[in-house]
Copies of this chain bind each other. A is one copy, B any other.
Amino acid sequence: MSALAPAQPGMPVDEVDTPALLLDLDAFEANLRSLHDAVRGLGARVRPHAKSHKCAEIARRQIAAGAIGICCQKVSEAEAFVDAGIRDVAVTNEIVGAAKLRRLAHLARRARISVCVDDPVNVVDLSQAADAAGVVIDVLVEIDVGSRRCGVLPGAAAAQLVRAVKNAPYLRFAGLHAYHGAAQHVRDASARAAQAAMAATYAAASRDAIAQYSIACETITGGGTGTFLQDARSGIYNELQPGSYIFMDADYARNDWSGMPQFRQSLHVLVGVMSATAADRVVVDAGLKAIAFDSGLPLVADRPGLEYVKASDEHGVIAVAAGTSRPVPGDRLRLVPGHCDPTVNLHDHIVACRGNVVEAVWPVVARGAHW
């Protein structure tokens, strides 16, 4: 992490250096409550995905709010969180290669670790790494419930791989990973619910195929910010792994949220105007290296008539509509990023604010942890 931080606790938000990631603590805390309120009594545990925030303090607050642990996507990400004191981490991904498997197995000496598999050779390699480290590792068999990414086919193929896990001496079969990433951003609420329902059907069929070998699925996990409530109500999933609900972003805001909690936009990129030489535009100090653009351009919050229209490495061009008061150099704007997860990964700090005051500056401990 860079030694330089954009803010100090107690500072007014107006003095935070730009660009900086601002977290509105009131909105963040409301989002934590909304999620747990929505799923209470539905029989599904909450294990939020820490890839969204990569921040130990946020993980601690999620656990304090009722989460049972966290998800990570990479071994080094899990290492960063275990180093920070988190004791229950599911690595929701396949981990391949001797070096990574050795690190994963060593991590299981210090925390409860589970990991996904979708390949029988990987099952053997993982068991050997666990043996070498003197641990038994919990394993989730990943099934492809519609995203066409990782995972074996549901049903018989899943059952075959579960049997391989059961036969591996240093692994414990813990259940199914049945996350449907592609469904989360389906705009129409009923179309999204239909995809979630299909994923639950695939998960149930896999569970039943596995039961034919008298093997129980302790955990069936899935459910992102877009489908978690449908998944919790399915009667199939008993663990949920939403990530973006704490922050939200411009892309998730384009979903139809009918029948679901209305999460608040708690995360903004604070930017500074650095150039204003034309009537119809200003230039801000945040471009491709401070905001992720994979899910579209950021939106300018609370300033109608201003539109972020073009990014280069460290510049963002803001179009100023006719009749709109044009910002001047030194003015600040708050941007809603298109996609929160890769945006957070561009920053070393999250500046946590209460109203107009900086309450804390949290390191993004797993920033860049992609091994």
Contact = CB atoms under 8 A, between A and B. Distances in A.
A103 to B, nearest CB: 9
A294 interface: yes
A247 to B, nearest CB: 14
Contacts of A275: 94, 118-119, 149-151
Given A4-B369, A367-B368, 5 more contacts: A17-B97, A94-B274, A97-B272, A118-B277, A313-B342
Contacts of A19: 370-371
B292 A288 contact: yes
Interface in A1-20: 2, 4, 6, 15, 17-19
Interface string A284-322: 011011101110000000000000001111110100000
Given A149-B283, A314-B370, A347-B368, A342 B289 contact: yes
A312 B149 contact: yes
Contacts of A76: 2, 4
A94 B348 CA distance: 23
Interface string A272-284: 1111111001010
Nearest to A369: B2
Given A313-B341, A339-B288, A119 B329 contact: yes
Contacts of A122: 329
A149 B315 contact: yes
6 contacts: A96-B274, A118-B275, A151-B277, A288-B294, A314-B370, A367-B368
Given A148-B317, A150-B274, A96 B330 contact: yes
A18 B369 CA distance: 11
Nearest to A142: B275
Contact of A314 (B17, B18, B93): B93
Nearest to A282: B150
Most B-side CB within 10 Å, residue of A15, A276, A289, A345 = A289
Interface string A106-127: 0000000000001101100000
